Amino acid sequence: MHAPLLARMLFWRATLPLVKRFIAAERLARLLATHPRAGRTQDLSTAVRIARRLWRSADGPCLERSLALYHELGRLGAHPELVLGLGQDENGIVGHAWIEVDRRPLLSSDDLERFPAVVRFDSRGLRTGAL
């Protein structure tokens, strides 16, 4: 049953909008990094589907969605990377966050070429630098 996973994702959906205002992304990555639990990879697609539903808007809070998915995918046995990028639009510099597993982006419909990666955090929450 996926009820515990759904409950945790709902918790992140409710708390991350506030938490991200007081804690820097680098520290949040360290706090939300988890040690993978073996044998749970079958729930990865479920976590992605739940995140897609909870954060439906393409203009929605990409950092919140990415942090929640980063934490949950780590718990489920994946080795996610949290990626932060910067780009430019008509209003100036804009940021974007997304998750990659095996260097493949998840849940990002944006044209990621517009947002060159500035920093990556590995599955342990350690900064791996700019690309």
Tens-place pLDDT, residues 20-50: 999 999 999 999 998 766 555 567 888 888 8
pLDDT band of 58, cuts 50, 70, 90: low
Q: Is the pLDDT reported for residue 59 higher than 70?
A: no
* pTM score, whole prediction: 0.87
Which pLDDT does position 113 carry in this prediction? 84
Q: Is the pLDDT reported for residue 100 higher than 90?
A: yes
CA distances from 14 to 44, 46, 47, 64, 118 (A): 21, 19, 16, 10, 27
Q: Is the pLDDT reported for residue 1 higher than 60?
A: no
**DSSP annotation of 34:** -
Average confidence (pLDDT) over 100-124: 86
Which pLDDT does position 18 carry in this prediction? 93
**Rounded Cα gap, residues 96 and 2, in angstroms:** 29
Q: Are 50 and 9 in contact (CB under 8 A)?
A: yes
pLDDT band of 131, cuts 50, 70, 90: low
**Assigned token pair, 66:** 């990415």
Average confidence (pLDDT) over 107-122: 84
Q: Is the pLDDT reported for residue 121 higher than 90?
A: yes
Q: Which amino acid is at 70?
A: Y
